Amino acid sequence: MCSQQGPAGETRTTAGRIAELRARREAARHVPDRTVRRLARFGRMTARDRIEHLLDAGSFVETGLLARHRHTGFAADTERPVGDGVITGHGTVDGRKVCVYAQDVLALGGSVGEVFGEKVGKLLDLALTIGCPVVAINDSSGARVAEGVLSLAAYGRIANKVVTASGVVPQISLIMGPCAGGAVYVPACTDFVVMVDRTSHMFVTGPDVIRSVTGERVHMEDLGGARVHASVTGNAHYVADSEAEALDYVRDLLSFLPSNNLDETPSYRTDAPLDVTPDDLALEPLVPDGPREAFDMNEVIARVVDDGDLLQVHPDFAPNIICGFGRIEGHTVGLVANQPLHLAGALDIAAAEKAARFVRFCDAFNVPIVTLVDVPGFLPGTAQEHQGIVRRGAKLGFAYIEATVPKVTVIVRKAFGGGYAVMGSKELGADMSFAWPTATIGVMGAASAVDMLCHRGLGAADDPAALREELIEEYEETVLTPYMAAERGCLDDVILPSETRPAVLRALRALRTKRTTPPPRKHSNIPL
Higher pLDDT, 30 or 21: 21
Question: Residue 418 has what pLDDT?
Answer: 95
Question: CA 429 to CA 364: how far, in whole Å?
Answer: 16
The span from the CA of 188 to the CA of 180, in Å, is 12
Distance CA 449, CA 476 (A): 10
* Predicted local confidence at residue 331, as pLDDT: 96
User: CA-based angle 232:234:238, to the nearest 5?
Assistant: 105
CB-count burial class (<10 Å; 0-12, 13-18, 19+) for 38: exposed
For 22-77, the pLDDT digits (tens) are 888 887 787 777 777 777 777 899 999 999 999 999 999 999 998 887 765 555 44
Least confident of 61-75, 258-272, 292-306: 61-75
Residue 11's pLDDT band, with cuts at 50, 70 and 90, is low
pLDDT at residue 23, rounded to an integer: 83
Q: Which residue has the higher pLDDT, 181 or 40?
A: 181
pTM for the predicted model, two decimal places: 0.93
- Over residues 192-204, the pLDDT tens digits come to 999 999 999 999 9
Query: Among residues of the chain, what percentage have pLDDT more than 70?
Result: 96
Residues 303-324 as b/e (b if ≥16 CB within 10 A, e otherwise) read bbbbeeebbbbbbbbbbbbbbb
Cα 179 to Cα 486: distance, rounded to the nearest angstrom: 52
Closest CA to 138 of 109, 172, 175, 192: 175
What is the chain's percent helix, strand, coil content, to nearest 5?
45, 20, 35
Who contacts 357 (Cβ-Cβ below 8 Å, separation ≥6)?
399
| Rounded CA separation 106/35 (Å) | 9
| pLDDT(334) > 50 | yes
Give pLDDT tens digits for 467-521.
888 898 899 889 999 999 999 999 999 999 999 999 999 999 999 999 998 899 9
pLDDT at residue 264 tops 70: yes
Mean pLDDT (whole number) for 98-110: 91
- Mean per-residue pLDDT for 1-25? 70
Residue 326 in this model has a pLDDT that exceeds 70:
yes
pLDDT at 77: 47
Facing residues of 410 across strands?
372, 434
Domain layout of the chain by residue ranges: 45-256, 278-444+482-511
Classify domain 278-444+482-511 by CATH number.
Answer: 3.90.226.10
DSSP letters, 442-458, are ESS-HHHHHHHHSHHHH
Q: Which amino acid is at 89?
A: G
For 213-256, what is each residue's pLDDT tens digit?
A: 999 999 999 999 999 999 999 999 999 999 999 999 999 999 99
Query: Quick check: helix, strand or coil at residue 294?
Result: coil
CATH of domain 45-256: 3.90.226.10
Structure confidence at residue 466 (pLDDT): 87
How long is the chain? Answer: 528
Q: Which whole number is the average pLDDT over 380-400?
A: 97
**What average pLDDT score do residues 298-317 get?**
96
Tell whether the model's pLDDT for residue 458 goes beyond 70.
Answer: yes
Residue 20, H or E segment = helix 14-29
Q: What is the mean pLDDT of residues 335-350?
A: 97
**What ranges in 349-488 are assigned the alpha helix state H?**
349-364, 382-386, 389-402, 417-422, 446-453, 455-460, 464-475, 482-487
> Which of the four pLDDT bands, split at 50, 70 and 90, describes residue 9?
very low
CB 460 within 8 A of CB 519: no
Position with higher pLDDT, 1 vs 526? 526
**What is the maximum alpha-carbon separation in the chain?**
117
pLDDT mean across residues, the chain: 92
- Nearest partner of 115 among 85, 136, 137, judged by Cα: 85
**Please, are residues 425 and 408 in contact by the beta-carbon 8 Å criterion?**
no
Categorize the per-residue pLDDT at 355 as very low, low, confident or very high, splitting at 50, 70 and 90.
very high
Q: What is the mean pLDDT of residues 270-287?
A: 87
